[in-house]
Amino acid sequence: MNTDPLVFVTDDVPEPADGEVLIAVRACGVCRTDLHVTEGDLPVHRAHVTPGHEVVGEVAALGPGNTEGLAIGDVVGVAWLRHTCGQCRFCVRGQENLCPESRYTGWDADGGYAEFVTAPAAYVHRLPSGYSDDELAPLLCAGIIGYRSLLRAELPPGGRLGIYGFGGSAHITAQVALAKGAEVHVMTRGKAAQELALGLGAASAQGASDQPPVALDSAILFAPVGDLVLPALEALDRGGTLAIAGIHLSDIPKLNYQRHLFQERQVRSVASNTRTDAREFLAFAADHHLEVTTPQYPLDRADAALSDLSSGQVSGAAVLAV
């Protein structure tokens, strides 16, 4: 692991291109995907890219072309997905998250670990009121990807949901599930994370590979640990679904068909999100105030935030104050 992967540089303020806006960053969440990018688990798509894709800021300038009605001074959010082609078979059937031409903030283009960032206006999000900048930032990936993971897990009404790992995304997703009437059981390392889960309303919280006290209808794996796929599948009741939320996962051990998959249990991956997912989730956050735990770091301590995230010392979702 590279313990100090970031290099701070001074550069010119970027100019927004056609259809883009320039955003003065006010806060940026620290996502586990940033950790995978900086540590090399996800090779960068552009050398020396600036990470960060949970950006809250103020529109500072408009590029030429269509900027989607945004105005200077608007407070907006920038998320992971920043471009799709709009023409391939995936885009036209509402699955733009699978677009082969998709591009991403903080991976293909510079992200929000900076004072300014540019973004295509069509992929910039209006934000719900009633939240601080620190609380809004994690909603833009942790919240959105958790929401899509919940959809992929196909939780039945009033069902039992298992959550494996309880960091930034999981602690938001648990609240969405609870608001929808689910019974939530959390499997995670660390007493602080377990206490946070119980404080938010989880019915139980135990070790990362422990079995929950009841059979689960659905489960979501947030921890990037392939070894946890097996106990998560064993915990599912008949017909249950396990959704794997991360963009990166360590290798999954050998499955046993009878123990892990029979009785129509299934495992599904989660690939990014669509803008529809984002709009639906942000609308939900506007109607149901979510408690977002956000330990704060100054921008010049971004390395420390990533290190703390890697070692499991972050309870909730870390945020850089810019």
Q: Which tens digit of pLDDT belongs to each residue from 83-111?
A: 999 999 999 999 999 999 999 999 999 99
- CA dist 166 and 154 (Å) reads 20
Domain boundaries, the chain: 20-141+272-321, 143-269
- CA dist 68 and 72 (Å) reads 12
The rounded mean pLDDT for the chain is 96
State yes or no: pLDDT of 114 exceeds 90.
yes
> Which pLDDT band holds residue 315 (cuts at 50, 70, 90)?
confident
Mean per-residue pLDDT, 260-271 = 97
> Could you tell me if 320 and 299 are in contact, meaning their C-beta atoms sit under 8 angstroms apart?
yes
> Which pLDDT band holds residue 5 (cuts at 50, 70, 90)?
confident
> Which pLDDT band holds residue 253 (cuts at 50, 70, 90)?
very high
Find out if CATH 3.90.180.10 is the number for domain 20-141+272-321.
Answer: yes
Q: Which tens digit of pLDDT belongs to each residue from 284-304?
A: 999 999 999 889 999 999 999
Q: Name the residue type at position 296.
A: Q
> Which pLDDT band holds residue 40 (cuts at 50, 70, 90)?
confident
Mean per-residue pLDDT, 107-126 = 97
State yes or no: pLDDT of 254 exceeds 90.
yes
Mean per-residue pLDDT, 136-153 = 97
For 250-272, give one letter per residue: b (16+ CB within 10 A) or e: eeeeeeeeeebeeeebebeebeb
> Could you tell me if 204 and 188 are in contact, meaning their C-beta atoms sit under 8 angstroms apart?
no
State yes or no: pLDDT of 143 exceeds 90.
yes
Mean per-residue pLDDT, 161-172 = 96
Common-topology check for domains 20-141+272-321 and 143-269: no
For 35-74, give one letter per residue: b (16+ CB within 10 A) or e: bbbbeebbeeeeeebbbbbbbbbebbbbbeeebeebeeee
The single residue listed with the structure tokens 């079995």 is 211
Of the CATH numbers 3.40.50.720, 3.90.226.10, 1.25.40.10, 3.90.930.12, which one belongs to the domain with range 143-269? Answer: 3.40.50.720
State yes or no: pLDDT of 113 exceeds 80.
yes
- CA dist 39 and 37 (Å) reads 6
Q: pTM for the whole thing?
A: 0.94
- Output the pLDDT for position 3: 57
Angle between helix 302-310 and 32-39 (nearest 10): 100
Any idea which of 37-41, 165-169, 174-178, 299-303 has the lowest mean pLDDT? 37-41
Any idea which of 71-85, 188-202, 305-319 has the lowest mean pLDDT? 305-319
Q: Name the residue type at position 67.
A: T
